[in-house]
Amino acid sequence: MAGKEPEIITDKNQMRKWSRAMRSQGKTIGLVPTMGYLHEGHISLIKEAHKRTNLIVVSVYVNPGQFSPTEDLSTYPSDFHGDIQKLMAVPGGVDVVFHPHNLYDYAEGKPTGINNNGSNCENSGVGEPERKGVVSCVEERGLGHETWVRVERLEKGMCGKSRPVFFRGVATVVTKLFNIVEPDVAMFGKKDYQQWRIIQRMVRDLDFSIEVIGSDIVRDGDGLAMSSRNVHLSLEQREKALSINRSLSGAKSAAENGQVNCRELRNLVIQAVNSAGGRIDYAEIVDQETLEAVEEIQSPVVFCIAAWFGKVRLIDNLEINISK
């Protein structure tokens, strides 16, 4: 049953004005950053935010800065109208959907830009962003932006190895979202474990007055971690991808039963995913806070994995909370 329709704001100054007006009334604001094409994982973040704040802002923004030229920006799924319908069905609703124009000007000395679909401004039609999911090109014209935010050590491993520009793009745009929305609480899913820890560290280091909450992974009934990219999996690939969670669960059980050698645990998962037809990007057991690889489990760790099934790259993880 549909509830209230959220206010849709595309202008960053209007967004900041709204937030400050609400805060002047003593209201607290929760931000749920998304790239759209919402699923139950995103909805769970909104429900958790409702427990902590009076008002909810959901940002819908596909960030070109976290994609390299060889990655899937142009094929990233979107359904803005469908997203609004899903948000209207959330108990308690959503107060604002912040759907900005491009937040970072990639121009190099000339007024060009990239829209949220990854195409050049000259080739993109601009419609009604609120309803058609089409966004206009970058607002700031001229010399372009050149400031980036980096969390240097935490971004180096795992996804940072194979996607060297990813976390720079994430940290910079999340910083901009924080500065525009000015939330009290920001919700991130633990499926993107490294990203969550990086944002936490960035907030600590830069003295943002924001509580960054990590919410547990939401899975489909078959155990596959929910992701907007799952739509690109064929039925056969999806079945094979179940080897990720199954093997992680097996490794966790083995660790809880006394197998604390990380090489052995990693081999269990790598062999299972390879046998299912997947291609491992990385499979690492790391400290939950420092994200440094460990050789033997002696304190709480997280087993993180990224693997390709066809052209779809999936990530997943399981926390292992045992200690000697």
Cα distance between residue 18 and residue 9, in whole Å = 9
Other C-beta atoms lying within 10 Å of the C-beta of residue 25? 8
β-pair partners for 58: 32, 97
| C-alpha count within 13 angstroms, C-beta hemisphere, residue 294 | 22
Six token digits for residue 140: 């700031």
Cα distance between residue 11 and residue 270, in whole Å = 46
Residue with tokens 């923004």, as numbered in its chain = 61
Locate the DSSP E strands across the chain: 7-9, 29-34, 55-60, 96-98, 185-189, 211-215, 279-287, 301-309, 312-320
The DSSP code sequence of 254-285 is HHHTT--BHHHHHHHHHHHHHHTT-EEEEEEE
Give the type of residue at 274: N
Q: Does 99 participate in catalysis according to the annotation?
A: no
What is the three-class DSSP state of 212? strand
Considering the candidates 42, 99, 101, 232, report the single residue annotated as catalytic.
42
30: DSSP letter? E
Look at residues 299, 303, 297, 293 and name the one whose alpha carbon lies nearest to residue 273: 303
> Which residues are the active-site residues?
42
